[in-house]
Amino acid sequence: MTDTGRQQPALRLTRADLDALPNYVPGRSPADLARELGLPEAIKLASNEVPYGPLPGVVEAVAEAAAGVHRYPDMGVVALRQALAERYGVDPDRIATGCGSVALAEHLVRATCLPGDELVYSWRSFEAYPIIAATSGATSVQVPNDAGHGHDLAAMAAAVTDRTRMILVCNPNNPTGTAVRRAELDRFLDAVPDDVLVVIDEAYREFVTDPEVPDGLSYADRPNVAVLRTLSKAWGLAGLRIGFLVAQPQVAAAVRKVVTPFSTSMAAQAGALAALAQADEVQRRCALVVAERERVTEALRKLVPDVPASQANFVWLPLGDRAVDFGKACEARGVIVRPFAGDGVRVTIGTPAENDAFLAAAESALG
């Protein structure tokens, strides 16, 4: 610090290209909104969480793990990788875990792309993808969604160049809820060169009910396919930050090499192990979410006819320029949704009462 009274030019200590990068937008705090509106509580339908609380046994497992938090966690994540391997029928050396599957997506880019290499994905899709690409030095190649708001896999295959190192297929797609089907995914995978890694991001796999939408793990024996899963959504562990991938051993090992050391915390490992023992309850909760998804979609289509069918735990309202105003109108009625300016609004499926509150807000904004 100088004391000359002269104005110092602002020092640039960080990368200039970050200025152009959008921030990841977390869902707004319902407590803040409730305070602002003078309501006892507000409803958050903005982050694709499942509304039924932690699964039985999770809180106890995390509390027990807390007694050991003066020690580092198991960096090999041995017990959890073993449990995941058994559940999904793959070898543990094909699994890597991370601080949410979003971190694993980043690690995969780090493991495949050098600066200037290309990462292909559909757009609009998960808002973290462009941020991950840019911060990893990879070049984003965004292929516009098709007219039905889903991936145009033929155009994505055509976008591959000799600089392409990785392709993200978000299935079902966040935020539009659309899903690619088996025949088109087969064709796409056959068309992609063997030395390009195709990452099938299945954060919402547990909510898929269309039998034609393939389980990405059925492709996991292809050498250039990796499947991303999360325990944040159906498994109710969003706050613990735990996701995993299944890939060929060499890819999984590369990811484990670039992962931030010890980033799968002791609490996350313990909570995930407890959650995996509750598969029946997960299925029951997903069925509730799916029934509500269908009810909400049908009701919304009376207001916005082109709401696409969703295979996830959220629905998409393609409102274009009305998106932001619609989001504000919902907030004014105590319901937080997720608008994407100029494009549409994503609304997470909540409890029946929460969904009713949202539908009432939507009716008053659009009816």
Ligand X SMILES: Cc1ncc(COP(=O)(O)O)c(C=O)c1O
The contact set with ligand X (CB under 6 A) reads 48, 100-102, 126, 170, 174, 201, 203, 230, 232, 238, 243
Q: Which of 310, 298, 346, 318 is nearest to 147 (CA)?
A: 318
Give the Cα separation of 12 and 263 in Å (integer).
30
Q: Indicate the residue among 149 and 322 with the shorter CB distance to ligand X.
A: 149
Give the Cα separation of 68 and 352 in Å (integer).
39
Give the Cα separation of 186 and 2 in Å (integer).
64
Q: Indicate the residue among 97 and 322 with the shorter CB distance to ligand X.
A: 97
Q: Indicate the residue among 224 and 232 with the shorter CB distance to ligand X.
A: 232
Q: Indicate the residue among 24 and 262 with the shorter CB distance to ligand X.
A: 24
Phi, psi of 52, deg, nearest 5: -95, 20
Q: Indicate the residue among 201 and 331 with the shorter CB distance to ligand X.
A: 201
Give the Cα separation of 80 and 73 in Å (integer).
12
Q: Indicate the residue among 242 and 362 with the shorter CB distance to ligand X.
A: 242
Tell me the closest approach of the beta carbon of residue 146 to ligand X, in angstroms.
18
Tell me the closest approach of the beta carbon of residue 268 to ligand X, in angstroms.
11
Tell me the closest approach of the beta carbon of residue 171 to ligand X, in angstroms.
9
Q: Indicate the residue among 235 and 358 with the shorter CB distance to ligand X.
A: 235
Give the Cα separation of 187 and 153 in Å (integer).
9
| Cβ atoms of residues 144 and 120 within 8 Å | no
Tell me the closest approach of the beta carbon of residue 12 to ligand X, in angstroms.
30
- Class of residue 242 by CB neighbours under 10 A (exposed 0-12, middle 13-18, buried 19+): buried
Tell me the closest approach of the beta carbon of residue 244 to ligand X, in angstroms.
9
Residue nearest to ligand X (CB): 100
Phi, psi of 200, deg, nearest 5: -95, 110
Tell me the closest approach of the beta carbon of residue 230 to ligand X, in angstroms.
3
- Report how far apart the first and last C-alpha atoms of the chain are (Å, whole number): 59
Q: Indicate the residue among 30 and 172 with the shorter CB distance to ligand X.
A: 172
Tell me the closest approach of the beta carbon of residue 101 to ligand X, in angstroms.
4
Helix or strand or coil: residue 9?
A: coil
- In one-letter notation, the amino acid at residue 52 is Y
Give the Cα separation of 238 and 210 in Å (integer).
25
**H or E element that contains 227:** strand 225-230
Tell me the closest approach of the beta carbon of residue 60 to ligand X, in angstroms.
22
